[in-house]
Amino acid sequence: MNTAAELKAWNFQVLMLAQALLGAVTPNFRMVVLSCEGDVWVIRFYLEKNIEDDIGEIEDIICQYTAYQDSDLKCKSEILVGNEDLPSLSEADRAVYRRKE
């Protein structure tokens, strides 16, 4: 992050994702990570099990997250299921949620 504008953009996106997560996270959620790849915001959801209700919650989270935006946001989401070790995060990633394991 080189400029105050980039930091402001990151902080805004983290805050909007945190707001969208409120009340939606279940014990099956292991971690939620926000990344920026070029001009696309990427949200990765790490789940322990493939539970249909949680997939529905993720759809609602993405809908809420995009509703908070004031511009043409480019974003995508990925759902990763399993109980293997969670990945280490790079400097370009922000863990917005992580359960204690």
Residue appearing with tokens 């971690």? 31
Note the pLDDT of residue 41: 96
What does each of the 101 residues of the chain score in pLDDT, given as a tens digit?
A: 568 889 999 999 999 999 999 999 999 999 999 999 999 999 999 999 999 999 999 999 999 999 999 778 899 999 999 999 999 999 889 999 999 99
Note the pLDDT of residue 40: 94
Note the pLDDT of residue 21: 98
CA-CA distance, 84 to 36, in Å (whole number)?
Answer: 24
Within 10 angstroms of residue 40's Cβ, the number of other Cβ atoms is: 11
Note the pLDDT of residue 70: 77
Contact yes or no for 77/42 (Cβ under 8 A) = yes
Note the pLDDT of residue 5: 83
Please choose, from the candidates 80, 63, 79, 49, the residue with its C-alpha nearest in 3D space to the C-alpha of residue 19.
Answer: 63
Domains and CATH numbers, the chain: 4-98 (3.30.460)
Note the pLDDT of residue 91: 86
Q: What is the pTM of this model?
A: 0.93
Note the pLDDT of residue 60: 97
Total residue count of the chain as it appears in this document = 101
Distant-in-sequence, close-in-space partners of 38: CB < 8 Å, separation ≥ 6: none
